[in-house]
Amino acid sequence: MTAPELIKEKAQLVDSYIKSFVINYEASEMGLKGLYESMKYSLFNGGKRFRPVLSILTAELLDYPAEKILPYASAVEFIHTYSLIHDDLPCMDDDDERRGQPTNHIKFNEWTALLAGDALLTESFYLINSNYLDQPELALRAGLELSRSAGPRGMVGGQAIDLASQDEVKIDEDLLTHIHNLKTGALIRASVVGSAYLAQASAEEIALLKNFGEKLGLAFQVADDILDHGEDESASYTQLLGLDGAKSFLEKLSKDCEDSLKTFGDRAKDLKLIVDYNLNRDK
């Protein structure tokens, strides 16, 4: 199976689970109806489900059933989707289009988009808390990892540093890496590590998978910068290292990812496919 086929297969599991969950998002009240439609609009706006697919593949690596990890994987996707809604708002990146479609605040309005993002963030923890009552300690660890990755110690913190530094600080490679480790890498790491906790991974396995997730998270951003080379004027690895330098950095990070998986042997073949996919992706 190729990496795109693997991603599509696992993404369909996530889509089916999310659809079964949001089918309850029906309301006659005007405010709630608009809110629910806004949430569903962005959840099903063409994303590849890269992060929840990582959660599933990590669980399968550890012989934990995919269907049992779907609530956590979907919680990760809810947080990712909320972040995109908020990133597109006029007070942030002020984008009118995402994935070829109007952004949420253009399709609906600003306050609906803002609340849809808030709701998705909150629902992510409802998904975890309501589905892992039989694993309270493990769910607590997974939830802690996810909350750390999403808040000021992770994604939100990275966005704050990025926005604050744009007009005040010359961004060098160290600062750029710090920003992206928080802004992009933290949630990708949590996709892997939270799943590993729920699958009852050992401390050694957690450490290896944490390193894998961190390296892959940064590699994902470097690959994005390479794909966007010449189109985006903001600070990037291609701007700081040159196109060839960024490609070399991506190759190094990808090797680091694979080295973190050596202990797992052939069980890690699907995760290695994802590393190779990211190394060579063209979109």
Question: What is the per-residue pLDDT for 209?
Answer: 98
Is residue 23's pLDDT more than 70? yes
What is the average pLDDT across 223-237? Answer: 83
Does residue 135 sit in helix, strand or coil? coil
Distance CA 76, CA 71 (A): 9
| pLDDT category of residue 229 using cuts at 50, 70 and 90 | confident
Instruction: Say which CATH class 3-202 falls into.
Output: mainly alpha
**pLDDT > 90: percent of the chain:** 84
Beta-carbon contacts of residue 84 (< 8 Å; ≥ 6 apart)? 42, 98
CA atoms within 13 A on the CB side of 134: 3
Question: What is the per-residue pLDDT for 25?
Answer: 87
pTM over 0.85: yes
| pLDDT category of residue 235 using cuts at 50, 70 and 90 | confident
Is residue 282's pLDDT more than 90? no
Backbone angles phi, psi at 98, to 5 degrees: -140, 130
Closest CA to 215 of 249, 263, 242, 264: 249
Which residue bears the tokens 């750029």?
176
pLDDT digits (tens, 9 = 90+) for 156-171: 999 999 888 877 667 8
How far apart are the two ends of the chain, measured CA to CA in Å?
20
**pLDDT > 70: percent of the chain:** 98
Question: What is the per-residue pLDDT for 233?
Answer: 61
If one compares 46 and 37, the residue with the highest pLDDT of the two is: 37
Helix (H) or strand (E) run with residue 101 in it: strand 101-102
Closest CA to 135 of 187, 192, 69: 69
If one compares 232 and 64, the residue with the highest pLDDT of the two is: 64
Q: Looking at 2-11, 73-82, 121-130, 157-166, which range is the least confident one?
A: 157-166
Is residue 123's pLDDT more than 80? yes
66 CA to centre of own chain: 18
If one compares 116 and 236, the residue with the highest pLDDT of the two is: 116
Rg over CA atoms, the chain: 18
